[in-house]
Amino acid sequence: MTSTNAWPDLRGIAYGGDYTPEQWPRETWDEDVALMREAGVNLVSVGIFSWALLETSEGVFDFTWLDELIDLLHANGISVDLGTPTASPPAWFFADHPEARVITRDGTVMGFGSRGMASHSSPEYRAAIVRIASTLAERYGQHPAVVLWHVHNEYGVPVGEDYSAQSVHAWREWLRERYGSLDDLNRAWGTAFWGQHYGDWEHVGAPAAAPSVVNPAQRLDFARFTDHQLRECFIAERDAIRAHAGQPITTNFMANQSWTTDMWAWAREVDIVSDDHYLWAADPEGEIGLAIAADLSRSVGGGKPWILMEHSTSAVNWQPRNVAKRPGEMARNSLSHLGRGADGILFFQWRASRSGAEKFHSAMVPHAGTGARVWREVVELGDTLGRLTEVKGSRVVADVAILWDFESFWAQDLEWRPSEDVGHAERVRAFYERCWRDGITVDFALPGQDLSAYRLVIAPAQYLLTTADAANLTRYVAHGGTLVVSFFSAIVDENDTVHAGGYGAPLREALGVAVEEFLPLRAGDTSTVVWNGEGADELSADVWQEHLVVDDAEVRGSFLDGPGAGMPAITRHRHGAGTGWYISTRLDAAGLAIVMKEVYADAGVAPSGLLDGVEVITRRGADADFTVAINHRAETISLPITGHNLVTGTDAPGMLDLAGGEVAVIRTSRVAEGGGR
């Protein structure tokens, strides 16, 4: 049996959260379902950490409580996202199979008592997850309450790389498969360096603790292997479920929060993309990181609606300082996800746990109970979402793509790079943030995919860029696209081997420049770029300069000081019908804004012109657009738009006044009211 539905059988936007009734007495369940109805909850995720209560010892199952729970939910019209509990095997599993425990790089054995899966490569673990997934699917595959399967939880967190003997064994098999011959492995890893030549497959180990830095190509492959093994675990469960159940199957990602898994590859395996997202409390503009996560979740799924599987009603518990959300912030966060393509808004979790490691994590029902602000906002949000049913299924369309390649991330963040001040995530955030403030909606994209639909492609962190992908970007420019490339890009190929021809060589044609030498700055040093364009005479930068060799690009900015003083810093190059920009330093936010203004002009992309902090995203429906507007500012703003505000049920006749902190969803009929994006 295969999946017959691309979306859970639900009316309207999905709304709810993780529900863990096993932590509560039976009488609380009845209160729970009553409150769920009050809040408009239509979907809850259950069973995610329930393995020990469902399979009490190997092969011995007890579904009494789960049967009762699902029937209760069903009777109250609440659908179930049924989890497989494989992210947290029971105590008996680890006791029976101590060799399945994960081992860290330095040899520490990861014990029981916390959470986390066993070794992704343990045959015993693999057998156990198929057994529990099959058994659940067999039992609940036909249950009318179950509309979605939730395999595992957050693959890659907190268990990713595993250095156990079982993992090393699987690693060798994976390498044989990948390389076929040891000669090819030796070549790919460059084992001639430091005398690492292998003459026997059995001599190849995991990149564990060693006296100095381990071969980076080996480490990169180990990241690929880890991703592959985790994905195999998912596929094993998915296929076990599919044999018995027809509902769609997902697993919750952690976009922009964990990088262990290659979301592009995983998105091909799930029926529906779902994602967990938590604000980073130390960042007073956490909504930008949220938008990255949401856009990435949408992008990996090819633009299809996705489900926000977890976020928080207020504070989390695992950050250094767990800042509470301000009044209205939960709604703003939720609507931003929705605006960026989410057709489900769920929380971790329904009711705050009184015990355990996450007891200080906020919930839909907080410790303070239903008298609390959080609960009132939960009910209000349920009400709002109930009025947005028609948004469901509509799509976001973007003119701009930012490249995002997990392999490049993995490679760049290994040891011994030219400067520890250069980071993959930092570069992505800088360019994304620029677009966010300029009111420009972006997709994320792979460097090797068809990019022709985009007016502008930004490559903020393409340290690893294959020759083929570089050729794709070059073609994109030749055919009229505008490409912006940030420094430290196109440095290595898929084996972390420096490209023949030197740094940046594969993009030399598109950009008209090559990098002769990196000139990283000392800690805290800044430099000035003399700018030849509009907006400023000088731009501020730090961290990095380069000795750039200009073939035939136009020099738009040059270094005034620092090791690159007098050398070109920012270039623009006409190639075929398009334009390739290169920015060889880390501009500050003001400087990047100035440069991007010219880039936008080249690309024909128009900033929204709205005040900073007014977030507007449009979803395109069958015959209407839905514009989600979020006012992150304190004061009322006016938005030039005509349509119907689904949140308030009132019309916006050409202008929408949106109070500080408020949200709106404006339906604009594309026929009657014109417009579009």
**DSSP letters of 86-136?**
TTS--HHHHHH-GGGS-B-TT-PBP-SSS-----TT-HHHHHHHHHHHHHH
Q: For the purposes of burial, counting CB atoms within 10 Å of the CB of 412, is it exposed (0-12), middle (13-18) or buried (19 or more)?
A: buried
* 513 belongs to the binding site for a second copy (CB under 8 A): no
Q: Say which residues have a Cβ less than 8 Å from residue 481's Cβ, sequence separation at least 6.
A: 451, 452, 454, 455, 456, 457, 578, 603
Chosen residue from 133, 519, 530, 539 binding a second copy by CB under 8 A: 519
* 668 belongs to the binding site for a second copy (CB under 8 A): no
Q: Select from 232, 240, 268, 93 the least CA-distant residue to 155.
A: 232
Chosen residue from 16, 90, 344, 591 binding a second copy by CB under 8 A: 90
* Amino acid present at 101: R
* 22 belongs to the binding site for a second copy (CB under 8 A): yes
**β-strands 513-520, 482-486: how paired?**
unpaired
What does the alpha-carbon distance between residue 459 and residue 445 come to, in Å, rounded to a whole number?
Answer: 10
> Rounded to the nearest 5°, which phi and psi values hold at 396?
-90, 135
* 72 belongs to the binding site for a second copy (CB under 8 A): no
Chosen residue from 6, 357, 589, 606 binding a second copy by CB under 8 A: 357
Q: Select from 485, 489, 503, 516 the least CA-distant residue to 579.
A: 485
| Candidate ranges 51-59, 589-597, 603-611, 657-665; the one touching a second copy (CB under 8 A) | 51-59
Assess contact for 618 and 677: CB atoms under 8 A: yes
* 650 belongs to the binding site for a second copy (CB under 8 A): no
Catalytic residue among 55, 287, 310, 509: 310
* 25 belongs to the binding site for a second copy (CB under 8 A): no
**DSSP letters of 233-245?**
HHHHHHHHHHTT-
| Candidate ranges 2-10, 16-24, 29-37, 235-243; the one touching a second copy (CB under 8 A) | 16-24
* 566 belongs to the binding site for a second copy (CB under 8 A): no
User: Could you say which residues in the range 574-593 bind a second copy, by CB under 8 A?
Assistant: none
* 45 belongs to the binding site for a second copy (CB under 8 A): no
Assess contact for 21 and 78: CB atoms under 8 A: no
604 dihedral zone (left: phi>0; alpha: psi -120 to 50; beta): left
**Cβ 359 to a second copy, closest distance in Å?**
5
What does the alpha-carbon distance between residue 32 and residue 363 come to, in Å, rounded to a whole number?
Answer: 13
What does the alpha-carbon distance between residue 665 and residue 547 come to, in Å, rounded to a whole number?
Answer: 49
Active site residue 154: yes
Chosen residue from 69, 130, 146, 159 binding a second copy by CB under 8 A: 159
Record the tokens describing residue 72, joined without a space. Answer: 């209760």
Q: Between residues 411 and 656, which has the closer beta carbon with respect to a second copy?
A: 411
SS (H, E, C) 52-66: HHHEEECCEECCHHH
| Candidate ranges 27-35, 43-51, 387-395, 440-448; the one touching a second copy (CB under 8 A) | 43-51
Site string for a second copy, 206-245 (x = CB under 8 A): xxxxxxxxxxxxx---------------------------
Q: Between residues 537 and 551, which has the closer beta carbon with respect to a second copy?
A: 551
Angle, in degrees to the nearest 10, between helices 165-179 and 216-242? 100
* 355 belongs to the binding site for a second copy (CB under 8 A): yes
Q: Between residues 250 and 314, which has the closer beta carbon with respect to a second copy?
A: 314
Q: How many CA atoms lie within 13 A of 393 on its CB side?
A: 12
Q: Between residues 514 and 647, which has the closer beta carbon with respect to a second copy?
A: 514
Record the tokens describing residue 161, joined without a space. Answer: 């790389």
Handedness of CA 165, 170, 171, 173 (dihedral sign): positive
Active site residue 232: no
Site string for a second copy, 172-201 (x = CB under 8 A): -----------------xxxxxxxxxxxx-
Q: Between residues 558 and 627, which has the closer beta carbon with respect to a second copy?
A: 558
| Candidate ranges 1-9, 84-92, 443-451, 617-625; the one touching a second copy (CB under 8 A) | 84-92
Q: Between residues 269 and 542, which has the closer beta carbon with respect to a second copy?
A: 542
3-class state of residue 71 by DSSP = helix
What does the alpha-carbon distance between residue 89 and residue 228 come to, in Å, rounded to a whole number?
Answer: 20
Q: Between residues 129 and 445, which has the closer beta carbon with respect to a second copy?
A: 129
Q: Between residues 559 and 600, which has the closer beta carbon with respect to a second copy?
A: 559
Chosen residue from 27, 177, 284, 654 binding a second copy by CB under 8 A: 284
**Cβ 129 to a second copy, closest distance in Å?**
13
**Cβ 626 to a second copy, closest distance in Å?**
32
* 281 belongs to the binding site for a second copy (CB under 8 A): yes
**Cβ 97 to a second copy, closest distance in Å?**
12
* 468 belongs to the binding site for a second copy (CB under 8 A): no
User: Could you say which residues in the range 371-400 bind a second copy, by CB under 8 A?
Assistant: 371-374
| Candidate ranges 248-256, 288-296, 366-374, 623-631; the one touching a second copy (CB under 8 A) | 366-374
Q: Which residues are catalytic?
A: 154, 310
